[in-house]
Amino acid sequence: MKIKERLEEIKSNLQDLQAKVEAGDAEAIKSAGELSDEYERLETQQKDAEKYTKLLKRIGNPAGLADDGKGGDAEPKTLGEKAAAAVKAAGISAEHHGSVTVQLVKAATDPNTNPSGDYAGAIEEVRYEILRGVRRPLTIAGLFASENTTAASVTYFTEGAAEGGPAAVAENGKYQQLHVGEPVKHTDALKKIGTFWKDTDELLSDTPRLAQNINERADYLMDITEEDQLFAGNGSGENLLGLVNRSGLQVMYYDPTSTLDLLLKIKSAKKLVRMHTPGFRADGLLISEDDWDTLTSLRDKNNQFLAGGPFVGQYGNGQTAEEHPLWGLRPVPSQATPSGLITVGAWRLGGSVIRKGTRAVEVTNANEDDFLYGRVTLRVTERIALAVRYASAFVKLCAATFSAASGNAVAGTTYYARTGEAGAYVYIPVTVTTGASVSGYYTATAI
């Protein structure tokens, strides 16, 4: 705080204490005495400072070169000010002729500041590590089993349909014939995923960290492309046939406005896996980050989180977990699946990712005219296939709108009976024979 500001503050404090001093308040009298002493000391310092300031100005500017506008002499800063002051000091005027030589130099009292010229770079700290951008967590490949092959495709067979079959036979009665169809052939060809880029010789030798970052980023983008292909590849052209586009997967629909319906459908999906692939047990729940956030935010009527609170488990019991199991299933929140599509499955038994060798990175400067221009071409590639040997080991849960049905049942259409109340409806699949009335039932259409 400046001396003048402190003096004003002391004055104000003394005025505030005046009434108490006059009333004989001992503490006020003591404080007033201390403030008065400080005021006199500061007042003396201020007078000395003003005296020394004027003296220093005269020493630094003996010729009285310029007026600072406050009754004192300001030090000239520019060449023009220097010249005018020198002329004045030499007594040169219209009547008295003469000459002076003026040099513009920095005064010793000028402050040193940060450089703004060529030397400015010397005060910069440069950290050459490249901070990684956003990386999407990888989830899909790790859910499946992993295999290797040396062939260009993988073929496997599933049981053919059975017709007829055993039945109770009366004495001297005719036996029922059983016919088992030929095994069904399935072939999954390996597909290639790859990319290339070019680096100059100078980039590789002068900035190896940048080159390393480019290489690492390309590897990550390969991972993302692989993940998207394994999950949702459409099978056309050179695309993989991803899991969710496979025929034979079990499909169920749920009402996205009813969390209860979704929870019960997930439980039913576990049962369907067990029913249609005996001996298999669902081991994973693939769900979008948004849908998982909705489920883990559920609270009961006591406002307690069903999936455990932010610090402890449900109702203070046990420890909270990052991802609580749901119906015993390991949840896998993922950015690979869209909101509204949830997959329950026996992942490791139902399918596997098949690779031919490992991901390869090749480098050459003999490509096109790279050698002439001093650059190299880098190429990364892999060959991969997805084998889903037991499609019924997976259940797709799709968000849907449910509409009231009318008329008679249509073959191949699943109908639902609705229970509960708004916001918590539960839609239960029912069997309706063709031609029977479907009044009071609902049909589902995927969103």
Residues with Cβ < 8 Å from 352, sequence gap 6 or more? Answer: 144, 145, 146, 147, 386, 387, 389
Looking at the structure, tell me whether residues 305 and 414 fall in a common domain.
yes
Kindly state whether residue 269 falls inside one of the protein's structural domains.
Answer: yes
Alpha-carbon distances, residue 9 vs 20, 22, 43, 427 (angstroms):
18, 20, 13, 77
Q: What is the reported pLDDT for 46?
A: 82
Looking at the structure, tell me whether residues 21 and 151 fall in a common domain.
no
Residues with Cβ < 8 Å from 384, sequence gap 6 or more? Answer: 190, 191, 193, 226, 229, 230, 240, 353, 354, 355, 356
Q: What is the reported pLDDT for 182?
A: 94
* H helix intervals, 171-258: 201-206, 208-232
Looking at the structure, tell me whether residues 280 and 370 fall in a common domain.
no
Smallest Cα–Cα separation from 289: which of 330, 332, 333?
A: 333
In angstroms, rounded to a whole number, what is the distance separating the alpha carbons of residues 285 and 386?
19
Ramachandran angles phi, psi of 233, nearest 5°:
-60, 140
Q: What is the reported pLDDT for 75?
A: 62
* pTM above threshold 0.75: no
Looking at the structure, tell me whether residues 293 and 416 fall in a common domain.
yes
Kindly state whether residue 131 falls inside one of the protein's structural domains.
Answer: no
213: CATH: 3.30.2400.10
Q: Residue 53: which domain range?
A: 3-86
- Give me the residue label for tokens 């039913």: 268
Looking at the structure, tell me whether residues 403 and 305 fall in a common domain.
yes
Residues β-bridged to residue 444: 402
Domain count, the chain: 3
Which of 86, 110, 133 represents a domain boundary (last residue)?
A: 86
Q: What is the reported pLDDT for 283?
A: 94
Ramachandran angles phi, psi of 287, nearest 5°:
-145, 150
Question: pLDDT digit of tens for each residue in the chain (447 aa)?
Answer: 678 888 888 888 888 888 887 888 888 888 888 888 888 888 888 887 777 676 666 555 544 444 554 555 566 655 566 666 666 666 665 555 556 555 555 667 777 777 778 887 788 888 878 888 888 999 999 999 999 999 999 999 988 889 999 999 999 999 999 999 999 999 999 999 999 999 999 988 888 888 888 888 999 999 999 999 999 999 999 999 999 999 999 999 999 999 999 999 999 999 999 999 988 999 999 999 999 999 988 888 888 888 877 777 766 677 766 788 899 999 999 999 999 999 999 999 999 999 999 999 999 999 889 999 999 999 999 999 999 999 999 999 999 999 999 999 999 999 999 999 998 999 999 999 999 999 999 999 999
Looking at the structure, tell me whether residues 330 and 412 fall in a common domain.
yes
Looking at the structure, tell me whether residues 441 and 319 fall in a common domain.
yes
* H helix intervals, 97-189: none
Looking at the structure, tell me whether residues 266 and 228 fall in a common domain.
no
Kindly state whether residue 260 falls inside one of the protein's structural domains.
Answer: yes
Kindly state whether residue 170 falls inside one of the protein's structural domains.
Answer: no
Looking at the structure, tell me whether residues 62 and 200 fall in a common domain.
no
Kindly state whether residue 286 falls inside one of the protein's structural domains.
Answer: yes
Kindly state whether residue 108 falls inside one of the protein's structural domains.
Answer: no
Q: Residue 348: count other Cβ atoms within 10 Å of its Cβ.
A: 16
Kindly state whether residue 363 falls inside one of the protein's structural domains.
Answer: yes
